[in-house]
Structure 1
C-alpha cells in the first residue's frame, strides 16, 4: 500500500510542472547560476518562465523532458559549482571542461548515478577528488585534468568497472597509485601524469588487459616498473619520463605492440635489452638521462618504423651499431653525452628522412662518412666534442635544409667548402677549435638567416668576407685565434651583432667607422691584431657596449670624445697601442666602468684627478706611458680598487700621497720605473696586498713593516732604491736574508771588503733584474695568444691571506656565519672597514678524488671575469674541506631584498629591470663565452648578490657541479638544485643543461615581478610560482592580477607598464615545460635590451598534451 502511494505521488509531482511552470531540473539548473557567471549567450536562454530547460543552450533532454546532458565546454564560465547539481539525477553527460570554474568538486555529484561521461578538465578546481564519485557506477569517461586538485586518488574510484578513459593528469595529486588500479579491466586510456604521485606502480596494473595508453610522466614514482606490464598485449603508448624509477628495462616480449616508449629522466640501469627489437611497431623510443650502460643492441635495426631514437645522457659504450641504418623512417637520432667510440658508421647515410643527428660529447673518431653529408633532409648536425677528423666534402654545400652545424672541439682539417651557405638558410655554424685552413666561405650568410658564426681557434687565412658585414641577422661572430688578414669589412645599418670577437689574428687597416651601425653590440674584442689609425668617433653610437678590447694593436691618435657616450662600458682595454694625448675628461660618463686598462701607450700629461669618480673601478692599469707630474691624492677615493693599480714605467715624480693608504682592498700595486721619492710608510696599512713592485725609484727610509714578507718572496720588486732600507733589530732574519736593501741606520764594524762585495752583489742583482724585467716585457708583448687572466691560486700550505681570514673570523666562529647551505657555511670576514670578504667552507670529508676535481673547477671558475659574476678572490684546500673567498656584497642577496627584509624595501621598476638584465648577461656569459660552457645548476635569488648600486652578481658559478658531485656521493638519491627552481625535465636527475638554467632564471623573473617566492605560502597546496602565474594568465586576462601591487602602483598608466608586461611574457617562455621551447640566454639578453621596442603579447598557456619528442 505504501509503495503504491509513493508511486502515485511521484506521478503527481511529474505532472505538476506541466501546469505550474518550470520543471524541477530547470529549477536546479537556475540554482546553479547563483554561483556561476554565465556569458550572455547562455544566460539569455536560461529563463525561469520556460516550462522546461530542454531548449536552453548547453542542455539536452530525453523524451520525458529530463535533463540528460549538461554540455557547456569552452563557454567562458566562471564561479563555483553548487550542490544543486546533484539534483539532476537523470544526467548521462556532464561536460564543463575548459572554463574558469573554481572551488571544490561538490560531493553531490555522486548523486548523479547515471552519469557516463564527466569532464571538468582545464579549470581552477581545487581540493580533493570526492570519494563519493564511486557511486557513478556507469561512468566510462572521467576527465579532471588541468586543475589544482590535491590529496590522494580515492581507492574506490578505480573500482568503477566501466571506466575506459581516465584523465587525472596536470594536477597536484599526492600519495601512491591505488592498488585497485587493477580493477579497471576495461580501461584503455589512463593519464596520471604531471602530478606529485609517489611510491611504486602496483603490479596489479597487469590486470588492465585492455590498456592502450599509460601516461605517468612528471611524478615522483620510485621502485621498478612492474614485469606485469609486459602481459598487457595491447599496450601501445607508455610514458613514464621524469620520475625516479630504477631497475632494468624489461620490455621486448614477442607479443610487444608498443608504438611509443618514453623512459627518460629516471634511474634505470643495465643494458638496453636486445628483445626490444621485437617491438616492431615502435615509432619513438626515448631513454634519455638514465644510468644505462653497455652497447646499443644491434636488434634496434629491426625497428623499421622507428622515427625518433633518444638515448643521450647515459653511459653507453662501444660503437654505434651499423644496423641503425635499417631504421629508414628515422627522423631524429640523438646519442649525445655517452661514451660511444669508434667511427660513425657509413650505414647511417641510408637514413634518408633524418633531420637531427646529435652525436656530440662522445669519443667518436675517424672521418664523418660522406654518405651522411648526402642526406638531403638534414637540418641539425651536432657532432662537437669528439675526436673526429678529416675534411668536409663539397656535398655539405648541397644540404638545402641545413640550419645548424656544430663541429667544434674536434680535429677536422682542410678547407671549409667555399660554397657553404649558397643552397641553405643556415642559422648556426660552430667550427671552433679544429684545424681548418683556407678562407671563410664568402656566401655563408646569403640565406639572410645566419645568427651564430663561431670559427675561432683554427688556422683560417685570407680576409673576412664582405658579406659578413652585410649579414643583418648575425648576432654572434667569433673568429678569434686564426690567421686572418686584410681589413675588417664595413657593417650595414641594420646590423644585429651583439658579440664580436676577432682577437689574435693579423687583421690590418683601420677600425671601420661603420662599426657605429652595430647598435646592439655589447662586446668587442679585436685585440692582438695589426689595426692602425685612430679609434673612430662613431664608437660613441654603441650605447649598449659593455666590453671594448682593442689591446695589442697599432692604433694611434687621441681617445675620441664620443667614447663617453658608451655609458654601459665596464671594461675598456686599449693597452699596448700607440695612443697619445691626454686621458679625456669625457670618460667621467662611464659611471659603471670597473676595469680601465690603458698601459703600454704614449698618453702624456698628468694622471687625471677625475679618475676618482669611477667608484666601481676594480682595476686601473696606466703603466708604460708618458704620464708625468705627481700621483693625484684623489686616487685614494677609489676604495673599490681591488685587482690592480699599475702606474709603472711613467715619468711620475714626487711623493706617494698618503691617501693611497685608503685602498684597503688593493691586491696588486706597481709603482716601478718612475722617479718617485719620499717614504712608503703611508702604504703600510694596505692589508690586502698580495704583490707589490716599487723598484727603480728614489724611495727612502724604512720599508713598511708589513711588506717584509714581499721582500722574501720577490726581492727584485724593491731594487733600484738606494736609500730604501729595512728597520730591524740585530740578528733579525729580515736583515740577513736579503742583500737588496740594507738595514736602516749606521752599520758598525763594516769592513771595506764587505762593502765592495755588497756593492758587487747589488750591481749584479740589479743587472739581472733589469734583464729579467726587459725579457718579461718582451714575452708579455709577443706572446699575446696565451694571455689569460689568472684565477685564484691554490694554497695547500700556509697562506698570509688565509691567516688574516682565519683571524678575522676567529677560526670560522659561528658568530660570523652569514648562512648555512647543504654543502657548508658562509662566513663574513672583515679584514678592514674597507675590505670585507665572504668565505664559503665546503666540506668533503671522506670523498676520494674530491681534491682533484675541486682544484680543476675552482681554477676554471677563478679565471672568469664579468661584471655580473661574483669574483673568486682566493681558494685554500685542506684535507677535509676547502675555503673559497668571495667579495662580500653590501646589499646581500636578491632573496633577502624580495622576501626577508622587513619592512620590505621599495624596489622601483628600473632596479628590478637592472637586476633582470644583469643576471641574464652573467648567465649568458657562462653559457656562451666560457669554453667549455658552464652550467650554473642552481640559479635562484639566494645566489644573486647585489652590490651597493643594486647591480646583480651571480655567485656559486662553476662550483655548483662540484657541490652536486659531493652531494650525490653522500646521498645517491639526492635531488640536485632547489625545489621551485628545478626544470620539469631535470627534477629527478643529476643531469643539468643550459635549458634548465633558463627555466630557473625564468622563475627568478617571476619573483621579481610578483614579489612572491617560488613556493609561496599564499599559493594553493603543491603549487609553484610558474603554475600559479600560468593559471591566472588564461585567455585575455591582464597581468595586473599577478604583479606586485607596489610595482603596479608605480607603473600603472606609464610606458613602464608595457615593459613589465614584456618581461613577464619572456619569463613565461623561459619557464616553458618543454626545454626545446625555452629561449637561449643570448636571446633573453637581446629581448631584454629590446624591451622598449617590441609589442607585448602574453603567451597562451596550454594545459593539455604530453611531451612532444
Structure 2
C-alpha cells in the first residue's frame, strides 16, 4: 500500500500530465520527426535521443522550448511516484467502474494493488504475470457490457460473464481482443445483433452467447472463425436463413442454435463439419428435406432437429450416422415409413419421432438397437400390432400413444424389468391387460386409456409399488376394482372412468396415501363411499359421477385439506352433506341427480326427529308413584338444587376467569404492539405515508444489510399506527415506514413469533435471504430481533400487487399483453435465481408479486417458511399456501418432500392466471371452477382462444399466448418429475417470445 503523500503526489502529477497533454500534442509530433522520446517504466528514466547536428535548430523553436519546460515540470512527478500502474490492473479497474456490483463480488479489486492475480475471478500466467482468464459467472453483475477496460488485457484468453445481468448491445470492440480463445456471455439480457466484427477473433475456440435477447441474422463472418470448436447461440431471437459457409468450420465439434426463429433449410454443407459431435437445431422454423451431406457426420452422437417444419421422408442414409446416441426429429412434418436402416444405430439410446406423419408398421429392425432406452412415436399414424421387441429390448420409456395400432398387448416371459413408463393410449388395442404387467417393478406410469381393452383390472397391478399414474379410462373393462389396488402406496393419479366396472369401491383405496386424483366416473359402481377415503389427505380431485353409488357421505370428507373438486352427480346418495370447509361452497351441479341428498347447498331441508322438550317442574318428582310431600322427595329436591347451584357457580367462575385472562392478554398485546415498529407484508400495494413518535430503539438488534444507518425515523419501539397498516399476510402484518435517512421501507411484523426458531437460526436464515439479490426480487434490506418481536425490512415497491392489477383494475386500465409477458418472464427469472441459491419460495401467488414504477415484477415473501422450526402440514397449508389453487399436490403429503418443483407448479398456475385474467379458483353461483382444469379442457378441445383475457381486445401475438398457456399446463403437471426446472422455463419463455415489431394477430 502507498502512503497518503505518495497518492496525493501521484494524483497531482496525473492531473498535470492530463492538463498539458493537449498543449504538447503538436510539439510531440514535431519532436517525433526530429528526435525520439522514450520512457522506461522499470528504470523510471526519461531521456531524449537526438542527433547533435539537428539539436541546435530544434531548441531554437519556441514550442520545443515550452515542451522541454513541461518535461522539467513533470520530471519530479515521474521520479517520485510509485511504480506505474500495471496495465492489467488499470484495465480491470476501468472495466469494474462501468458495472453495477450489488453483491460486492469484486470487492477485492483495488487499484492500489501492483498485480490483479489475487483478485476474485482473475487468473494469470505464472511466468509473465499477465491476466489470462476472467471468470465472473453468476456474480449478479449488471450494466452495459463495455470492453474498453478489457482491451488492456493483452494476454486474455478466457472470458466468462455468464449468468449475470448484462444488458445492451454487443460492442464490436470486443473483437479487438485478439488473444481470446473462449468467451461465454450466456444467461444475460444482451440485445441487438451480433456484430460482423466477431469474425476477427481468429483465436476463438469456444463462443457461447446463448440465453440472451439477441436478434437479427447470424453474420456470415462467424464462419471465418476457423479454430472454433464450440458455438452456442441457442435461446435468442435470431431469424432469417443460416448464411452459407458453415462447412468452413472443419474443427467444429458442438453447434447449438436451438430456440431461435431461424428459417429456411438445414445448410447443405453441414456435412463438411466432419468432427461435429453435437448438433442441435431444434425449436426453430427450418423447413425442407434433410441435406444428404449430413450422412458424413460419422462421429455425431447428438442430433436434435425437433420442433421445426422439416418434411419429406427420413432418408435411409440416417443409418450411416452410426455414432448417434440421441436422434430427435419430433414435431416436424416427416411422412412415409420409418426407415429400417435405424437398426444400424447400435449406440442409439433415445429415439424420438413423435408428432409427425409416419405411416405403416413400427419396424421390427429397430429391435437391433441394443442400447435403446427411450422410444417415442406418439402422435403419428402407425398401424399394426406392437413389435415383439418392444418389451424385450430393455427400454425404460415407451410412448406409442395417438396412433392407429391394434391387436393384443403381449408381454413375453423373458422381458427385462426396467421399464418405467408405458403409454399406449389412444390406439385400438384390444384383449385383456396381461397379468405379467407385474414384472415391471420400476414402472411409474401406465397409460392404456382410449383403447378397446376388455376384461377386468388385473390384481397383479397392485404389486407394482412404484406406480404413480394408472390410467385405464375409456376402455371396455368390467368386473370390480381389485382390493389389491391399495398396495399402490406411491400412486398419485388413478383413472378408471368410462368403463363398465361393477361392485363397490374397495376400502383398501384409503391406503393409497399419495393419491391426488381419483376418477371413477361413468361406471356401474355400487355401495357407499368408504370412510377410508377421508384418509387421503393429499387428494385434490374426486370424481365418482354417473355410477349407482348409495348411502350417506362420510363426514371425514370435510377434513380433506386440499380437496378442490368433488363430483358425485348422477348417483343414489342420500342424507346430509358433510359440514364445513370445501362443502360449504360446493357447486350444486356436482351433487345433482341424487334425490336423497339434502342440505342448504341443494335448497332441500333434511327430515329429522326432534327430541321432546324437557319440562322441569319443581313440584314434580321423577318417581311417578312417590308422594310429592314426602320428606325424602324434599331432600331430593334440595340435593338437585344444590348440584344445579354448584354448576352455575362453577360456570360463572370459569367465565370470570376467562374475562380476566382475555383482558390481561389484550393489555399485553397492546403493550407488545406499542413496542413494535411499523411492519409491511409484501402482498398489498403501498400508497399511504405515516409517521410515529420517536422512541428508544436500543432494546433490540437492528441490522441493515446495505450498511446504512440502521435507524427508523420514529424509533424501533414506536406505537403502531393503524393508518400505516396496509395489509395482512400469512406470516405477518404489513406496514410502511421511513428510515432515518427519509427513505421509505416495507416492514413485516411476524405474527408467528412462537414458532420462530432461535435467534441464531433466525439470523442465519435472514442473512442468507439478504444475500439473494435479483432485479425481479423485492430486496431484503434488514431485520430487527427481540425474543418477542421479529421484523423483516424490505425494499419499498410503490406500484401495487399483480393481484390488484389483474383482478381489481378497471377494464380500461388493464395490463397489456407485453407487460403480462414481461411479468411472467421476470417472475420466472427470479424463481430460477432463488433455486440456484437453494431457496424455495413456498408461497408464490399474484398478491406476492409487486409491480414497480417501471412495470417490472418484483417477487416477495420468498423463503419465509424456513424461519419456522418445523414445516408440518398445518403450517404449510394455513400459513404459507393460504391461497387456494397454487398448491402443488405433493405439498400435502404426510412425509413431505418439498422441492423447487412446488414453486414450478405455483408458477404454472400464476402464468395461467396472468394470461386468462381469472383467479386460480372461482366460486360461481352453482359451480366451483378450477382454472387449470378449465384451460386444460379448452386446450384439448382446441378452443384455448376462449380462455384468453377478453380485456386484451382480441389483438395480441396468438403464438405467444398459446405457448405460454401450454407451458403453464406443463408446469402444473400432477407428477413433479414431469415439470421443468425454472431455468428451463426461462429458456422456453425466451424462445416463445415473439419479436416486438411483429404485427399483432387477430385471435379467432
TM-score (norm 2): 0.55
Residue 143 of structure 1 pairs with residue 135 of structure 2:
yes
Q: What are the Cα deviations for residues 36-79 of structure 1, in whole angstroms up to 9, with x where unaligned?
A: xxxxxxxxxxxxxxxxxxxxxxxxxxxx9xxxxxxxxxxxxxxx
Q: What are the Cα deviations for residues 513-555 of structure 1, in whole angstroms up to 9, with x where unaligned?
A: 2111112223222223233344433333233334333333344
Pairing of 1:991-1030 with structure 2 (within 5 A): none
Match of residue 469 from structure 2: 476
Distance 2:517 2:439 in 1: 25
Indicate if the aligned counterparts of 1:86 and 1:112 stay in contact, CA closer than 8 A. Answer: no
Aligned-pair distance for 1:168? Answer: 2.4
Residue 103 of structure 1 pairs with residue 14 of structure 2:
no
Match of residue 332 from structure 1: 326
| 177 and 543 in structure 1: CA distance in 2 versus 1, 3 angstrom threshold | closer
Match of residue 440 from structure 1: 433
Match of residue 611 from structure 1: 600
Indicate if the aligned counterparts of 2:502 and 2:526 stay in contact, CA closer than 8 A. Answer: yes
Partner SS, residue 323 of structure 1: helix
Distance 1:598 1:815 in 2: 35
Aligned-pair distance for 1:279? Answer: 0.8
Aligned-pair distance for 1:310? Answer: 1.0
Of the structure 1 ranges 471-480 and 440-449, higher mean CA displacement relative to structure 2 is found in 440-449
Aligned-pair distance for 1:120? Answer: 3.0
| 562 and 206 in structure 1: CA distance in 2 versus 1, 3 angstrom threshold | closer
Aligned-pair distance for 1:226? Answer: 1.9
Distance 1:383 1:621 in 2: 52
Indicate if the aligned counterparts of 2:258 and 2:282 stay in contact, CA closer than 8 A. Answer: yes
Residue 918 of structure 1 pairs with residue 857 of structure 2:
no
Match of residue 489 from structure 1: 482
Aligned-pair distance for 1:897? Answer: 6.4
| 589 and 191 in structure 1: CA distance in 2 versus 1, 3 angstrom threshold | closer
Distance 1:456 1:231 in 2: 54
Aligned-pair distance for 1:894? Answer: 5.1
Aligned-pair distance for 1:121? Answer: 3.5
| 415 and 184 in structure 1: CA distance in 2 versus 1, 3 angstrom threshold | same
Distance 1:122 1:940 in 2: 43
Indicate if the aligned counterparts of 1:166 and 1:190 stay in contact, CA closer than 8 A. Answer: yes
Q: What are the Cα deviations for residues 948-988 of structure 1, in whole angstroms up to 9, with x where unaligned?
A: 9999964894577686999999788x9947xxxxxxxxxxx
| 964 and 310 in structure 1: CA distance in 2 versus 1, 3 angstrom threshold | farther
Partner SS, residue 372 of structure 1: helix
Residue 318 of structure 1 pairs with residue 312 of structure 2:
yes
Match of residue 408 from structure 1: 401
Indicate if the aligned counterparts of 2:401 and 2:427 stay in contact, CA closer than 8 A. Answer: yes
Q: What are the Cα deviations for residues 137-158 of structure 1, in whole angstroms up to 9, with x where unaligned?
A: 9433232322214222224524
| 180 and 326 in structure 1: CA distance in 2 versus 1, 3 angstrom threshold | same
Distance 1:938 1:967 in 2: 15
Aligned-pair distance for 1:586? Answer: 6.0
Q: What are the Cα deviations for residues 1051-1094 of structure 1, in whole angstroms up to 9, with x where unaligned?
A: xxxxxxxxxxxxxx99998423588999xxxxxxxxxxxxxxxx
Distance 2:488 2:316 in 1: 48
| 91 and 409 in structure 1: CA distance in 2 versus 1, 3 angstrom threshold | closer
| 224 and 548 in structure 1: CA distance in 2 versus 1, 3 angstrom threshold | closer
Residue 895 of structure 1 pairs with residue 879 of structure 2:
no
Match of residue 282 from structure 1: 276
| 366 and 1076 in structure 1: CA distance in 2 versus 1, 3 angstrom threshold | farther
| 85 and 244 in structure 1: CA distance in 2 versus 1, 3 angstrom threshold | farther
Residue 241 of structure 1 pairs with residue 231 of structure 2:
no
Instruction: State which of 201, 204, 214 in structure 2 corresponds to 1:211.
Output: 204
Indicate if the aligned counterparts of 2:462 and 2:488 stay in contact, CA closer than 8 A. Answer: no
Partner SS, residue 197 of structure 1: strand
Residue 593 of structure 1 pairs with residue 594 of structure 2:
no
Kindly report the root-mean-square deviation, in angstroms, between the aligned alpha carbons of the 2 structures.
5.2
Indicate if the aligned counterparts of 2:510 and 2:535 stay in contact, CA closer than 8 A. Answer: yes
Match of residue 365 from structure 1: 359
Match of residue 919 from structure 2: 945
Aligned-pair distance for 1:104? Answer: 7.2
Aligned-pair distance for 1:942? Answer: 9.0
Indicate if the aligned counterparts of 1:298 and 1:324 stay in contact, CA closer than 8 A. Answer: no
Match of residue 196 from structure 1: 189
Indicate if the aligned counterparts of 2:354 and 2:379 stay in contact, CA closer than 8 A. Answer: yes
Q: What are the Cα deviations for residues 213-245 of structure 1, in whole angstroms up to 9, with x where unaligned?
A: 111111222222221222222211000111121
Pairing of 1:87-102 with structure 2 (within 5 A): 102=103
Q: What are the Cα deviations for residues 371-410 of structure 1, in whole angstroms up to 9, with x where unaligned?
A: 123423222212211111121122112122x222122111
Distance 1:89 1:332 in 2: 50
Indicate if the aligned counterparts of 2:88 and 2:130 stay in contact, CA closer than 8 A. Answer: no
Residue 183 of structure 1 pairs with residue 134 of structure 2:
no
Partner SS, residue 209 of structure 1: coil
| 203 and 923 in structure 1: CA distance in 2 versus 1, 3 angstrom threshold | farther
Aligned-pair distance for 1:585? Answer: 6.0
Residue 121 of structure 1 pairs with residue 106 of structure 2:
no
Q: What are the Cα deviations for residues 3-38 of structure 1, in whole angstroms up to 9, with x where unaligned?
A: xxxxxxxxxxxxxxxxxxxx979xx9xxxxxxxxxx
Indicate if the aligned counterparts of 1:454 and 1:478 stay in contact, CA closer than 8 A. Answer: yes
| 1067 and 487 in structure 1: CA distance in 2 versus 1, 3 angstrom threshold | closer
Pairing of 1:624-663 with structure 2 (within 5 A): none
Greater RCO, 1 or 2 (C-alpha within 8 Å, sep 6+): 2
Indicate if the aligned counterparts of 2:142 and 2:167 stay in contact, CA closer than 8 A. Answer: no
Indicate if the aligned counterparts of 1:935 and 1:993 stay in contact, CA closer than 8 A. Answer: no
Aligned-pair distance for 1:488? Answer: 1.4
| 555 and 179 in structure 1: CA distance in 2 versus 1, 3 angstrom threshold | closer
| 201 and 941 in structure 1: CA distance in 2 versus 1, 3 angstrom threshold | closer
| 601 and 166 in structure 1: CA distance in 2 versus 1, 3 angstrom threshold | closer
Aligned-pair distance for 1:574? Answer: 3.5
Instruction: State which of 279, 294, 300 in structure 2 corresponds to 1:300.
Output: 294
Q: Which runs of 5+ in 2 are unaligned?
A: 7-41, 43-80, 609-807, 821-843, 854-858, 865-874, 892-900, 902-907, 990-1004
Distance 2:565 2:312 in 1: 47
Match of residue 499 from structure 1: 493
Q: What are the Cα deviations for residues 620-666 of structure 1, in whole angstroms up to 9, with x where unaligned?
A: 599xxx9999xxxxxxxxxxxxxxxxxxxxxxxxxxxxxxxxxxxxx
Indicate if the aligned counterparts of 1:922 and 1:953 stay in contact, CA closer than 8 A. Answer: no
Aligned-pair distance for 1:947? Answer: 6.7
Instruction: State which of 1064, 1071, 1086 in structure 1 corresponds to 2:982.
Output: 1071
Pairing of 1:364-763 with structure 2 (within 5 A): 364-400=358-394, 402-419=395-412, 422-490=415-483, 491-493=485-487, 495-560=489-554, 562-566=556-560, 568-579=562-573, 582-583=575-576, 590-591=583-584, 593-595=586-588, 597-600=590-593, 603=596, 608=598, 610-612=599-601
Indicate if the aligned counterparts of 1:568 and 1:592 stay in contact, CA closer than 8 A. Answer: no
Pairing of 1:837-848 with structure 2 (within 5 A): none
Distance 1:201 1:1077 in 2: 21
TM-score (norm 1): 0.50
Distance 2:119 2:108 in 1: 15
| 600 and 110 in structure 1: CA distance in 2 versus 1, 3 angstrom threshold | closer
Distance 2:510 2:82 in 1: 69
Partner SS, residue 347 of structure 1: helix
Q: What are the Cα deviations for residues 411-448 of structure 1, in whole angstroms up to 9, with x where unaligned?
A: 11111122399413222222211000112232334343
Aligned-pair distance for 1:494? Answer: 5.8
Aligned-pair distance for 1:311? Answer: 0.9
Distance 2:264 2:270 in 1: 14
Match of residue 890 from structure 1: none
| 948 and 572 in structure 1: CA distance in 2 versus 1, 3 angstrom threshold | closer
| 308 and 417 in structure 1: CA distance in 2 versus 1, 3 angstrom threshold | same
